[in-house]
Structures are given as C-alpha cells and as structure tokens.
C-alpha cells in the first residue's frame, strides 16, 4: 500500500511538471512580423550579418499553422548580409527583407511539374544592372544600347548558377538606382555569392517543383537576431 502511494505521488509530480512547461514556440514563420499574405514562404536565415552561409527552409501554411516542407544549406553574399532598405550596389551583400518572387528562369528547362512562370535563358538574355539604363534591374533581350555590358550580367555566361533560379523581388517593383540589381535564389557556384542566395542544385529543383503562383510565395532573408533578424520582416 505504501509503495502504491509513493508511485502515485511520483506520477502526480511528473504530471504537474509537464503541465507547467511552456508550450513550444511557434515555427519561424509564426514569429515573423509579416509573411507576405500567402500560404507558401521561403526563409533564408544566416547566423549573423557577417555570415556567408545559413539555411533555406520552405514552409506551407495549413489550417493557420506553418509546416516545414524542407530545407537546405544556403550561401549568401561574400560580404555577408545588409539591410535591404539601405543596401548599396556592388557591396557583395545579400539584402535582408521580405520579397515576392516575380518569376523563375534558367538555362536548363524547368523541372517536370513546375507551374511557376519560367523564362528560358538564351544567348541574348541579359540582366541589366547599369544604374543609368532605363531597364535597370530588368531582364533585357537583346541588351539595349544604354545598358552597358560591363555593368550587367550575361545570364548564359553562368551555366552552373543560373541553370535554374527564382527572381527575388528586391528593388524590383520601383527600382532605386544604386541600391542593387539581379538578386536571385539560384544554384550554388564555387563559393559565396555576389549578393544572391544560393542552394544545391537538387534543392533548387525541389523548390521549383514546390512553388505555386496561386499560393503567393515570398522569401524572407535575415539573421537569427539583431536589427536584421528575420522575425522583423
């Protein structure tokens, strides 16, 4: 009888300690200030602004709860990350913030099952990064005279990185000169990027198979904490 009382007391104590534990913190998107209003979200999180590596995770909103769809190691700019609203072009930094994903593109054909708008690169495809050009921060084909080749990217010249990619809507809708152009989510190259976010080729294929324009996907880029914390965006 005494042994039963002891066991019962232990079980009650354990039950009380479990009940006293705080509920688990919500998933990362649930702690963010804004997720873009859609039901798909990509987060690109780095440990700190000086980091060149981190994690890309994709999420689905199901019945009001964000559920992780997958993740992959990510690379950022060679000089780390910088606040998107004050970033300067040519700094090799990845802009932090919350952005839409206007369309996908690639030198290769889109993966089977892709429903996202996808533009195929050819020998005349350029991304205009000339701050004096009318088509600043836009795909141009062919390259116009006011968009200098030395200030722009010939997309076909990057067969590895731009095998497949998603345009990140940084400085895209109303471009601010000198803030930056040609920021993409693309396939890994040899190392850190010039300001983009990159992932392994297999992860890029999974993302393109996953993104759905009807679900208004966005990407949030930021750090774990501090002024550029991903939860601020």
pLDDT digits (tens, 9 = 90+) for 129-179: 999 999 999 999 999 999 999 999 999 999 999 999 999 999 999 999 999
The DSSP bridge pattern shows strands 81-83 and 94-100 to be: parallel
Distance CA 101, CA 109 (A): 18
Residue 186 — very low, low, confident or very high, per pLDDT cuts 50/70/90? Answer: very high
Distance CA 207, CA 149 (A): 31
User: Tokens for 206?
Assistant: 């999974």
Residue 20 — very low, low, confident or very high, per pLDDT cuts 50/70/90? Answer: very low
User: Which pLDDT score, from 0 to 100, does residue 23 have?
Assistant: 58
User: Which pLDDT score, from 0 to 100, does residue 24 have?
Assistant: 74
User: Tokens for 55?
Assistant: 């994690």
Yes or no: say if 150 and 133 are a contact pair by the CB < 8 Å rule.
Answer: no
Mean pLDDT, residues 24-44 taken together: 96
In this model, does residue 25 exceed pLDDT 60? yes
Tell me: cis bond preceding 63? Omega within 30 of 0 counts: no
Answer positive or negative: Cα dihedral of 92, 156, 41, 45.
Answer: negative
For residue 109, give the DSSP letter: P
Mean pLDDT of the chain: 92
* Half-sphere exposure for 41 (CA within 13 Å, toward CB): 30
In this model, does residue 9 exceed pLDDT 70? no
- Three-class SS of residue 16? helix
Distance CA 5, CA 13 (A): 12
Yes or no: say if 157 and 131 are a contact pair by the CB < 8 Å rule.
Answer: no
Least Cα distance to 103 among 119, 89, 80 occurs for: 119
């Amino acid at each position: 009888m005494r042994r039963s009382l002891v066991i019962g007391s232990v079980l009650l104590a354990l039950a009380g300690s479990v009940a006293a534990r705080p509920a688990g913190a919500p998933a990362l998107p649930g702690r963010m200030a804004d997720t873009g209003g859609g039901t798909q979200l990509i987060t690109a999180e780095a440990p700190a602004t000086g980091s060149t590596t981190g994690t890309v995770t994709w999420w689905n909103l199901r019945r009001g709860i964000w559920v992780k769809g997958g993740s992959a190691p990510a690379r950022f700019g060679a000089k780390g990350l910088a606040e998107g609203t004050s970033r300067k072009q040519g700094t090799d930094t990845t802009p932090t913030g919350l952005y839409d994903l206007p369309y996908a593109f690639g030198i290769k054909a889109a993966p089977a099952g892709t429903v996202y708008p996808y533009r195929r690169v050819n020998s005349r495809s350029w991304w205009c990064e000339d701050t004096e050009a009318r088509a600043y921060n836009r795909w141009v084909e062919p390259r116009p005279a006011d968009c200098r080749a030395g200030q722009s990217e010939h997309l076909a010249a990057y067969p590895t990185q731009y095998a497949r990619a998603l345009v990140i809507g940084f400085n895209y809708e109303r471009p601010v000169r000198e803030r930056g152009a040609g920021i993409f989510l693309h396939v890994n190259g040899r190392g850190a990027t010039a300001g983009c976010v990159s992932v392994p080729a297999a992860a890029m294929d999974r993302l393109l198979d996953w993104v759905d324009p009807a679900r208004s996907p966005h990407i949030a880029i930021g750090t774990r904490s501090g002024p550029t914390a991903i939860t601020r965006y």
